[in-house]
Amino acid sequence: MLVSQILRNKETQSVVTVAPGTPLSEVVKVLSENRIGALVVSSDGKKVAGILSERDIVRELGKRGAGCLSDTVDDVMTRNVYGCKPDDSADLVLQTMTMKRFRHIPVMEGDQMLGLISIGDVVAARMSELELEKDALTGMIMGY
């Protein structure tokens, strides 16, 4: 299974982004209202300046307390963002997420972001693929 298929199977292709300079207090609202665990920091919705996940916020809260909420996203986001390509395999993306210990990865074409996939999207796609394979094998064995 390819990343492009995983993206197509998602309910929505749009990626939730915030602009550089957004205060963390606003980011917390955006994450909560959209029921998501990470967002991309971008000034135009296409070029990726950074990524920020709930873990980054929890880390800052643990270190510095609620005062960190008046910082901007730029102070806390990860700038060295790993991306994947539409024709990468789901297995490669899962390996990267597992090795690097993150659960979100933007799908890039050059410097333009096409979408974002989470570890949940990849696992769901692999499970439905395995289900199809199981049905095909059962069919062969039972002679359907």
Least CB distance to ligand AMP at residue 120 (A): 11
Q: Shortest gap between Cβ of 56 and ligand AMP (angstroms)? A: 5
Helices (H), the chain: 3-9, 24-34, 54-64, 73-76, 90-100, 119-142
Q: Give the one residue of 6, 40, 56, 73 binding ligand AMP; rule: CB under 6 A.
A: 56
CB-CB neighbours of 98 under 10 Å: 11
Residue of 37, 74, 85, 88 interacting with ligand AMP (CB under 6 A)? 37
Please say whether the beta carbons of 138 and 30 come within 8 A.
Answer: no
β-strand pairing of 112-118 with 17-18 = unpaired
Which residues in the 73-112 window bind ligand AMP by CB under 6 A?
78, 81-82, 102-105
State the nearest-atom distance from the C-beta of 12 to ligand AMP, in Å: 18
Give the helix/strand (H/E) hosting 39: strand 38-41
User: Using CB under 6 A as the criterion, which residues of the chain lie in contact with ligand AMP when the complex forms?
Assistant: 37-38, 51-53, 55-56, 78, 81-82, 102-105
